[in-house]
Chain A
Amino acid sequence: MSQPTKESPESQPMEGSPESPHAQPRPLAVSTATPAFLDVRDLRVHFPTEDGVVRSVDGVSFTLDKGRTLGIVGESGSGKSVTSLALLGLHKGTRALVSGEVWLDGRELVALPEKEMRQLRGSTVSMIFQDPLSALHPFFTVGAQIAEAYRVHHQVSRKEANDRAVEMLQRVGIPQPRRRAKDYPHQFSGGMRQRAMIAMSLVCDPALLIADEPTTALDVTVQAQILDLIGDLQQEFGSAVVIITHDLGVVAGVADDILVMYGGRRIEYGTVRDVLKRPQHPYTWGLLQSMPHIAGDVDRRLNPIPGSPPSLINLPGGCAFHPRCPHKGQVPDGRCSLERPELVPVPGTAEHIAACHLVADIRGGENTRAAQ
C-alpha cells in the first residue's frame, strides 16, 4: 500500500538544486546584500500514516521582507495551511517530520528547541486562524484571552495587560472596547470575533503575522473590512504578513507576491501583477479562467480545470498537475508524466518563476495566451 511515489528516489537530488536558494539567485528578494527578513528554504512537512507518507509540504521556499505581504494560494490539500503551521513550529512534538530551514531575522526556526520557539510564538511570530468562533476559547472572556497573550511575553500586572487588551480592541475597531472585553466570544458577531482574533495576534507587536484563511468564514462586506484592516495595521506595525487563501481575489487585493501551491509543492511564484496578469503555469491559468467575475462578458463560459486535486499520498509522477493539464500534449515524449519540471524564471522577468516544461521549452511564446 505504502509505495513510494515514482519520482522520489531518482528525482530527489535533482529537485533539490533548483529549489535551494543557493543554487539559484533568490527570485524575489530585493537584490540587496541584506538577507530577507523571512527566508524559507526547501521546507518539507511529511506525515507518516498507515497508508503511506503524506507529503503535505514538499520542498517549499520563499522569502519575505518586513512591510511586505505574501499570498500563498492553493486548493484544499495543496499544503498551504500546513506550511503556515510549520512556520510557527506547531508541528513540534507531533509525529510530523519537518525538514528544511526557516530563517527569521537571522535565526533558524526548524531546528530551534521547543522552549525557545515558544518564546517566539505570539510575540515575534503570530497567527490569525480561519474560524474565529472555534479558534477563541469559549469559556474565557475576549479581554482575558488577549491579555493572556500579552502576559505570556511581558512582565506586567494583570491590570496593565487588561488595559493593553482594551487598547488593542479599540484599535481593531470594536466599539465600547472596555465593556466588550468582558464579553465571551459567543457574544461577538462573526466579524467582531475576527477583529478580536486580530487584536490578540497583534498584542505583542509581531514582526511576522501569518493569516490562515482569515476571511473565509466571513460575509463579503465584513471580509472587505477585515482585509483592509489587516493591510492598514500592517502599515502601522510594519510587520511581514503571510496570507493563506484559496481565493485569488483576496490575494489580488492585499498581497505583494503570490506563491501558488499544488500537491504540496510550489508551482508558480512572483509578484501579484506578474502571476495574475501573466500566469505561466497551466494550473494558475486554469484557476483564473475558472473564476466568474462581477464585470465584463457575462456570457463567457467558465473554463474549468478538469479532474480533482491529487492525493498527497500518491502524487502523480512527473508534474503533479499533468493528469489535469490541457497542455501536456504540447510537451513531447510524455515528459510531463515522467520528469518533474523545475521552477525556472519566466523570460522577461527577473522575479517570476514557474514549474512547467512549457515555460522552460517554449520560453513564453505560447504562454502569452494566458495574458488575455
Chain B
Amino acid sequence: MSTTTHPILARQAPAHDNLLEVTGLHKHFPIRQGILFQRRIGAVRAVDGIDFSVGAGESLGLVGESGCGKSTTGRLITRLLEPTAGTITFDGEDITHTSVSGMRQARRNLQMIFQDPYSSLNPRHTVGTIIETPMKLNGVNPPQGLKRRAQELLETVGLNPEHYNRYPNEFSGGQRQRIGIARALALRPKLIVADEPVSALDVSIQAQVVNLLQDLQREFGIAFVFIAHDLAVVRHFSERVAVMYLGRIVEIADREALYALPRHPYTHALLSAVPEADPDLTGARERIRLAGDVPSPINPPSGCRFRTRCWKARDKCATEEPPLVRIPGNAEGHLTACHFPEEPTTAPRADVVLDPALAAMEETSTGTTGMPT
C-alpha cells in the first residue's frame, strides 16, 4: 500500500530501546451505504501510513489541524481503535491486534487522558471510585490500600485528598482534568497518550495542567504522546514534535529544529498562523496565508497531500509522493516529506498570500503583496 521506508526506525539503532514503535500505521474508516445490505462506497483515510517511535520517558508531540489524524493516531496507540494496517509495538510487545482482554495487561502501562474533562468522567461515580476502578480492574493491591492510594494520587495532581467522596460535577474544568490525570496515573503507566488535554480549559487553567503534566513526566519518567492543535503548547511540552497533515506526518524533528528551522511549507504556514500576544512579533515573522481549508480525507490529493494549498507545488508534487527523509541541511533526526523544501528559517520575507480575497484586497490597497516563485 505504502512505499514509505521507516527512517526513524533505521535511525534509532536497537529497536528495543523504544517504548513505543509505530510502523506503517493506517486507519481507514469505511463509509457504508444502505439499510439492510450495506456496501462500502469509500473510506475516510484518517491515518494513512505513519511511522514514529517514542523512547522511555520521552515526550512526542503530534500537531496538525482538524482531519490530520492526530486524535485517531492516539486512539490507535491505546487500541481504542483497531488499526487497518501497520504495527504498533509497545514495551517490546506487538499490540497491533491484541484483543480487548489481552490489552488489559498492556493498558496498565499505557494510559490515555482525554480532551473533554466533562464527558470522560462518569458523573454517577465518586472521584475515589473513578481513580480506584483501574486498579481494581487490573487486580492491583497497593500496600497502603486502595483508598489511601487514591488519596495520594489526588494529592499528587494537586487536589484535596479529602475530596475523595465528591462527584465530578462538584469540580471545575481544570480540576476535572486533574481527576482524569490521577486516574491515568493510578497504574503507574510507562506511556500516557494525552489527546488535547488542555484545549477545553481557560487560558489561566491551561498552564496549571501543563505544568502538572510536566512535573509528573519528570518525577515518574513517564513517556508522553502529546496531541494538540496548539503549536505553542506542544512546543512547550514535547522534546520531539511531528506535524501531521491529512493522515501523514509531513515533518518531524526536535522541537528546536522544528520551530526555528522548519523545512516543510506546511510547517512554515502553521507557525506563521499562530497568533502571538506580542505586537512586536507581527512584523518579525514571515506571513503566509493559505487559501481554503484542509481537503477531505476521503479523497486526499495525489502525490504530496499539501500540494493543493502549497505555493511551491509543481508537477512532480502531484505525481510523486515525497518520502519522509532527512533532506540536505537538516540535522540528524529532522525528517521532512517535501520535494521543494523551504529555507530553514522563520525570518520575515515577502508575504505569501494565497487567499484570493486577501490577495485581491491587499493588491489594490498597498501593492506590497508578492508571491515568491
Q: Which residues of B contact A (CB under 8 A)?
A: 65-66, 172, 174-175, 202-208, 210-211, 214, 229-233, 235-236, 255-256, 259-260, 269-282, 289-294, 346, 355-358, 360-362, 365
Contact = CB atoms under 8 A, between A and B. Distances in A.
A220 B231 contact: yes
B202 A276 contact: no
A250 B236 CA distance: 19
Interface string A267-299: 000001100110000000011111111110010
Interface of A: 75-76, 171-173, 175, 189-192, 195, 219-225, 227-229, 232-233, 235-236, 246-253, 272-273, 276-277, 286-295, 298, 301-306, 308-309, 324
A141 to B, nearest CB: 20
Given A247-B203, A302-B211, A308-B205, A272 B232 contact: no
Main secondary structure of the interface of A (DSSP, over half): helix
Contacts of B289: 224-225, 228
Given A75-B202, A221-B269, A293-B232, A173 B65 contact: no
B279 A294 contact: no
Question: Which of A225, A229, A289 has the most chain B CB within a 10 Å cutoff?
Answer: A225
Contact of A171 (B292, B355, B357): B357
Nearest to A283: B204
Contacts of A189: 292-294
A246 B280 CA distance: 20
A303 B175 CA distance: 17
Given A223-B275, A249-B277, A302-B211, A190 B259 contact: no
Nearest to A173: B357
A195 B229 CA distance: 22
Name which of B231, B274, B280 has the most chain A CB atoms within 10 A of its CB. B274
Contacts, number: 168
Q: Chain B interface secondary structure, helix, strand, loop or mixed?
A: helix
A220 B204 contact: no
Contacts of B292: 175, 189, 191-192
B229 A248 contact: no
A306 B204 CA distance: 8
A283 B54 CA distance: 38
B358 A229 contact: yes
A305 B271 CA distance: 26
11 contacts: A173-B355, A173-B360, A192-B293, A219-B229, A220-B65, A220-B274, A221-B65, A232-B361, A251-B277, A294-B276, A306-B208
Contacts of A248: 203, 277
Given A219-B229, A249-B276, 16 more contacts: A173-B291, A190-B293, A219-B294, A220-B65, A221-B269, A223-B273, A227-B275, A232-B362, A232-B365, A235-B361, A286-B204, A290-B203, A292-B230, A294-B259, A298-B235, A324-B204
Given A219-B293, A220-B229, A252-B278, A225 B358 contact: yes
Q: Which of B65, B214, B357, B365 has the most CB of A within 10 A?
A: B357
Nearest to B346: A295
A273 B358 contact: no
Contacts of A235: 361, 365
A304 B204 contact: yes
A291 B236 CA distance: 10
Nearest to B275: A249
Contacts of B214: 301
A287 B361 CA distance: 34
B257 to A, nearest CB: 12
Contacts of B233: 292
A36 to B, nearest CB: 23
B260 A175 contact: no
A247 to B, nearest CB: 6
A276 B271 contact: no
A304 B290 CA distance: 33
A305 B204 contact: yes
Given A220-B231, A293-B232, A308-B172, A273 B279 contact: yes
Contacts of B272: 224
A306 B203 CA distance: 12
